Copies of this chain bind each other. A is one copy, B any other.
Amino acid sequence: MNNTYIYLVAFSGILALIFAFILAKDISKQDAGNDRMKEIAGYIHEGAMAFLNREYRYLAVFIVIVAAIIVMFLNWQTAICFVVGAIFSMVAGYFGMIVATKANVRTAEAARHGQSPALKIAFSGGAVMGMSVVGLGVLGFSILYLIFGGNSVYLTGFGLGASSIALFARVGGGIYTKAADVGADLVGKVEAGIPEDDPRNPAVIADNVGDNVGDVAGMGADLFESYVGSMISAITLGAVVFTTGEGILYPMVLMGIGIIASIIGSLLARNSKNPNPQKALNSGTYVGGIIVIISAAVLSKTVFGNYKAFFAVAAGLVVGMIIGKVTEVYTSSDYKSVKDISDQAETGAATTIIAGLAVGMKSTVVPIILIAIGILVSYSVMGGFGDAARGLYGISLAAIGMLSITGLTVAVDAYGPIADNAGGIAEMAHLPAEVREITDKLDSVGNTTAAIGKGFAIGSAALTALALFASYAQAVNLNNIDLLNPVTLVGLLIGAMLPFLFGALTMESVGKAANEMVEEVRRQFREIPGIMEETTKPDYARCVEISTAAALKEMILPGILAIVIPILVGILLGAEALGGLIGGAVATGVLMAIMMSNAGGAWDNAKKYVESGVHGGKGSYAHKATVVGDTVGDPFKDTSGPSMNILIKLMTIVSLVFAPVIVQYGGILINMFK
């Protein structure tokens, strides 16, 4: 089978990028509102760019060092793939952020003319991020595939590059956004008694920048990593199972079709006139999903002569969609869990915390069972429990299925922070109440889509990590990873512990960074006269600077741990121990991610539910209790929880990339005792 189809796949990536450019051009042409709005939007834009520029300087150093290590221990081809992966992810993030920080103010302005035009701009902004992710992902991957003649060993470097950026964007971004948010709230709302999004609050711009940094760039890099990872896993395993190339053709073409489906879905959602924004967004996702499902079936029959691959793909896609829905059930105030938490708020903060943690823990059950079903179905339809290699390839196809409509998922997800920002700008620019009403409505839909998006991100991280885990085993020539072997057991225990450590470190980082922000905001109120009277502007840039510096400093330790520990365990205890480590880390990483994200989301909505008037409403004893829950939930859902996705994927891809080193030197400690 020749490689012609790869050009077609690459072309779909180019299409996505063209679509993204058209959307971006269209957004630029929209009215950016009055001078006040432009000024505020300018601050946010500058702040976001300041963060990205600083982050990318750090990243440049990091990339050079890691590339050098790769050249030293592996080969220059992998290093090139690594650098390309990193750069492509950075470009996607950069482009997405530029457009998102243009779309926010234009969404606010469009809201003067109604909900549909506002939704159109906000969603278009999100779609630019989504299309950049899939476009650059597919394009980069295809080009490298062609250059290196399909050598999947080199291509793992592309995944490592994507993972490295995701680490910075998601963990650093998560710390940034919550430091700003918590800092702004603690001094502004609690101490100074000014409302949220008040321009007198020095941290208000940092807070708005944080929405972009964490939820646009961070989420984008996270899914870019999953997207690329699923492709790497599928072609690594596919090349082994099918020697004539169908094993690679099928997932690659499906990713191309996924892009087309995402473009069509985006156009539908963008131009929907449905008065319910949630339904407008859903319609696009459903249409995109259906196109992929049908294509997967036709393609499966064409390429393999049967529907086995289709069932694996469908299993992944369906599981991903249901996990998103389940997330909503545990975090939306329309359902029982959130109401239970707000009931517990009647007896204070302690019972609110206990109830929220219990909801988070319980919410792991269904997603885990769904992932289990996804694994069993995709494995057994391909391999029938007899053929392990085919079965594992089936799991990678499930990941492909889940991620095929990434373009749409990211678009819907990145729409949220743009709408949120638009609301902030409307507030700060004192736009009429009816404008704020529209942006609030769009924002509240954004909260739901964010919850669903988080569930999807976790599910896809889990499946991608498991698929890469299978690739790892193949790369280190392991036919089994035996839990009765004590080193595997030790690896499992250490791996299972790492998400706990990672969670602790990231939560503490947010605490430290938020404290610095609190000090700075207090200082400005104290030392800069006229802030409260709005005669002098606060020093927004200084707050942006603090969040930026803290985020980048605080992510170094967890980042190093995620990269060094797998290699260290592999070298000391061997490839099988490392396999155990990955297994343990994926298991608890997924659980912690679900628990923390959902507990955080549930607390957030319990607070909003009480604010809507129940249990005494705003200012009541119950409300204060839910505010405590929400504040605990902030680092849970926006920093530590999402960081787990990165942790499990990064550790797996590090193991995969350095597999040759581990094969050669692995297990020196164990060998000493043999």
Contact = CB atoms under 8 A, between A and B. Distances in A.
A508 B356 CA distance: 10
Interface stretch (A211-219, A277-285, A363-371, A425-433): A363-371
Given A384-B674, A587-B587, A673-B380, A473 B466 contact: no
A632 interface: yes
A244 interface: no
Contact of A486 (B391, B481, B595, B627): B391
Given A353-B353, A361-B500, A369-B494, A484 B388 contact: yes
B588 A588 contact: yes
Contact of A368 (B361, B368, B488, B494): B494
Interface string A350-387: 11011101111110110011011001100110001110
Nearest to A373: B490
Contact of A490 (B349, B375, B473, B500): B375
Contact of A482 (B365, B482, B492): B482
Contacts of A518: 347
A69 interface: no
A104 B349 CA distance: 34
A13 to B, nearest CB: 32
Interface in A328-361: 344, 347-351, 353-355, 357-361
A483 interface: yes
Contacts of A670: 385
A368 B497 contact: yes
A368 B670 CA distance: 19
A501 interface: yes
A487 B376 contact: yes
Contact of A500 (B482, B496, B595): B595
B588 A376 contact: no
Given A478-B484, A489-B583, A500 B364 contact: yes
The majority secondary structure among interface residues of chain A is: helix
A668 to B, nearest CB: 13
Interface residues of A, number: 83
A587 B353 contact: no
A365 B628 contact: no
A117 B317 CA distance: 70
A438 interface: no
B580 A483 contact: yes
A635 interface: yes
A479 interface: yes
Given A368-B496, A480-B482, A483-B488, 11 more contacts: A347-B518, A359-B504, A362-B501, A362-B504, A365-B497, A380-B486, A480-B485, A482-B483, A483-B580, A492-B583, A587-B588
19 contacts: A350-B629, A350-B632, A354-B631, A354-B632, A358-B507, A375-B490, A375-B493, A376-B486, A379-B486, A380-B486, A388-B484, A480-B484, A481-B484, A483-B579, A493-B587, A497-B591, A587-B588, A588-B591, A628-B628
Interface of A: 186, 344, 347-351, 353-355, 357-362, 364-365, 368-369, 371-372, 375-376, 379-380, 384-386, 388, 391-392, 395, 466, 470, 473, 478-490, 492-494, 496-497, 500-501, 503-505, 507-508, 510-511, 515, 518, 579-580, 583-584, 587-588, 590-591, 595, 627-629, 631-632, 635, 670, 673-674
Leading 9 A-B pairs by shortest Cβ distance: A350-B631, A361-B504, A496-B587, A480-B482, A481-B483, A379-B486, A362-B504, A361-B500, A372-B490
